[in-house]
Structure 1
Amino acid sequence: MGVEDIRSIEFDEDIQMMCKSKAEEFRLIGYEHVTGKDIWNCVSSKYEKEGFPPIYKLVNDILSLKVTGFMNFMTMSAYKGSTFE
């Protein structure tokens, strides 16, 4: 395993931790069934067309995600019939 592989794993763990933290924040205000994976699906859906942004933008998008933006994403996903597992 090279240095880049280790950095990639650490990066993935950091992103997962931020998503879990945001999900916990949403649970504290009453959205009990939100998971870190739900947060990641919401945030990463913006990057499907344009590709992944620089790390600072990715971190900002996760940490600044509001409940209204998340619920809009979930509603639109339900209308489109998207399932995230």
Structure 2
Amino acid sequence: MIEELCNSKAEEFRLLGYEHVDGKEIWDCVNAKYAKTGQPELHQLVNDILSLKITQFMNFMTLSAFKGNPF
């Protein structure tokens, strides 16, 4: 279910012109938010995936690039 949501959000971003986004990158972005607090409830995960904005995602990708994390 979560994988399908991430893929759906990636498809949404591709429709907006961001062609190289995949579901794993969406998951990495959303999951990074919970690095310190642990995995949240399912409804919180679903909300965070569906409400993810392209600016939040691009900020995450930019910071990941600066930190040297591969995409």
| TM-score, with structure 1 as normaliser | 0.82
Q: Which of 19, 39, 48 in structure 2 is aligned with 1:52?
A: 39
User: In the alignment, what sits opposite 1:70?
Assistant: 57
User: In the alignment, what sits opposite 1:8?
Assistant: none
**Match of 1:65, SS?**
coil
Q: CA deviation at 1:22?
A: 0.1
**Match of 1:62, SS?**
helix
Identity %: 66
CA–CA distance in structure 2, aligned partners of residues 26 and 43 of structure 1: 15
Gaps of 5+ in 2: none
User: In structure 1, what residue type is equivalent to 2:42?
Assistant: I
CA–CA distance in structure 1, aligned partners of residues 18 and 24 of structure 2: 14
User: In structure 1, what residue type is equivalent to 2:29?
Assistant: C
Gaps of 5+ in 1: 1-13
What root-mean-square deviation, in Å, do the aligned CA atoms of Structure 1 and Structure 2 show? Answer: 0.6
**Match of 1:59, SS?**
helix
Q: CA deviation at 1:64?
A: 0.3
CA–CA distance in structure 1, aligned partners of residues 22 and 47 of structure 2: 18
Q: Size of the alignment, in residue pairs?
A: 71
Q: CA deviation at 1:83?
A: 1.6
Whose radius of gyration is greater, 1 or 2?
1
User: In the alignment, what sits opposite 2:12?
Assistant: 25
